[in-house]
Chains A and B, each alone.
Chain A
Amino acid sequence: GENVEQHPSTLSVQEGDSAVIKCTYSDSASNYFPWYKQELGKGPQLIIDIRSNVGEKKDQRIAVTLNKTAKHFSLHITETQPEDSAVYFCAATFGNQFYFGTGTSLTVIP
């Protein structure tokens, strides 16, 4: 199966700064890479995703980059706000199964 590693496990940034979370995966056949945000007491919520035929995707302050050769992808959040504080999970798909990273707890300090 797939193995997804996520770094860092915790991240603190000042409001307005950028945050970057990185994930690596093991199976070169993986072709879909979603990112989820999970707030306390809630289920994971999809915030952005990227498919293997695209190298970068942006949605307002959030962007994801994918390097298929190196088998890693990253989440970039610019102009961070306190409401961005949450746990972020990356995932990679192999077949119909999602394999999740271990999560990054992001704290945005006002």
Chain B
Amino acid sequence: DAKTTQPTSMDCAEGRAANLPCNHSTISGNEYVYWYRQIHSQGPQYIIHGLKNNETNEMASLIITEDRKSSTLILPHATLRDTAVYYCIVPTLGRLYFGRGTQLTVWP
């Protein structure tokens, strides 16, 4: 079972920051938060993960609240190619269970 809740859909203007929220209020102290995205018909793509500190890589930034009950994935300058379903996942016994994610639509 997915341990996270995400909005069903969001949209964002091209060139603006996309901020995708995720709630994981039952997360335990040693559990990581992972983010994936899936562009239409393709396999999911790993984006980033974190434990309690904020993380940044070439794709995105991950902000985790101090109580770890929620996080936000930030795409700093969204492009049309970022239109996808974004999944926030807290693994269970090392296994990833995908919920329905957030459909992000980036419009011109």
Asked whether A and B interact, the reply is no
By a beta-carbon cutoff of 8 Å, the part of chain A in contact with chain B is: none
